[in-house]
Amino acid sequence: MRILKYFVGIVFVLSLLSCKTNSELGRKVDQFFQSKRYKATLKDRNSLYAEAQQLKKDTTDLGTELRKTKNEYSVLKGEYNNLSSKSGLQLAQLNEDLKSKSKELERKEKLLQDREQRLKEMEAIVSKQDSITRALNKIVKNALLGFKADELSVEMKNGKVYVSMTDKLLFKSGSAAVEDKGKQAIKKLAEVLNKNSDIDIAIEGHTDNVPIKTNLYKDNWDLSVARATSIVRMLNEEYSVNPKRLTASGKGEYFPVATNDNPDGRARNRRTEIILSPKLDELFKILQKS
């Protein structure tokens, strides 16, 4: 039986359309990611894999106990047959022990069956999610074939599809306004997203570690939030992607994918990641029932 490798979960909506200043925008983003609701959701998602691991261990242990109980039952039954001609008191006690062990055996067999069924259901949902993610990864790659490797990349990891677009494609230095070629890429991606409505979409802005301070943006963190929000607004306002599916966040310079010690590394770090996550509603329902 295959082990549950990963789970992903429900991403809540961060509505930022009413923000009047970028400072207030950053503050509301921070408030959302510090909220109890977000932390509880993140905790649930991170615990799914550990719970599946523990469930498999418990099932293995239960199987061992079941075999042990069966052996004890066989021994008692043999003793019962051997003592069938002896005193009534010994026979009665042995008979009680035999009945008790039989009930325990039935209980453990039922528990083992229930856990095996639960594991099968969980594995079926995860397998379905894997299939959806692989298909989505292929569709997105095909939709974005016309762009160069140094402009964007598409990869599958942790049960999600990551579309990473560089600043070379999307933005001028220090700006959150999307360039024309970047708009073409966003449009093609939006067409895929509107045809696959069961996919949640998280947009993360990332920068290098070169300090920035302008009249519009206090620092890299501020800029990364503004860039993520620009993509969210474009998907919603220009291409009608449901805003309930969208979440924007700014990561600043704190999640680099390469070194910031040379120009090539810094260029890779200046990126916007669009993370596509198949919903896990069916899996959460199974866990809630248990």
pTM: 0.59
CA pair distance 193, 186, nearest whole angstrom: 10
| Cα 56 from Cα 4, distance rounded (Å) | 9
SS3 125: helix
Every domain of the chain and the residues it spans:
22-46+137-289, 52-128
Give the number of other CB atoms < 10 A from CB of residue 195.
10
Q: Could you confirm whether domain 22-46+137-289 is CATH 1.10.150.170?
A: no
What's 245's DSSP letter? G
Please list the pLDDT of the chain residue by residue as tens digits (290 residues): 443 333 333 333 334 334 444 456 555 555 555 666 656 666 666 666 667 677 778 788 877 888 888 888 888 877 777 766 556 666 677 778 888 888 888 888 888 888 888 788 777 777 777 787 888 899 999 999 989 999 999 999 888 999 999 999 999 999 999 999 999 999 999 999 999 888 899 999 999 999 998 899 999 999 999 999 999 999 999 999 999 999 999 999 999 999 999 999 999 999 999 999 887 654 445 455 55
Residues comprising the chain, all counted: 290
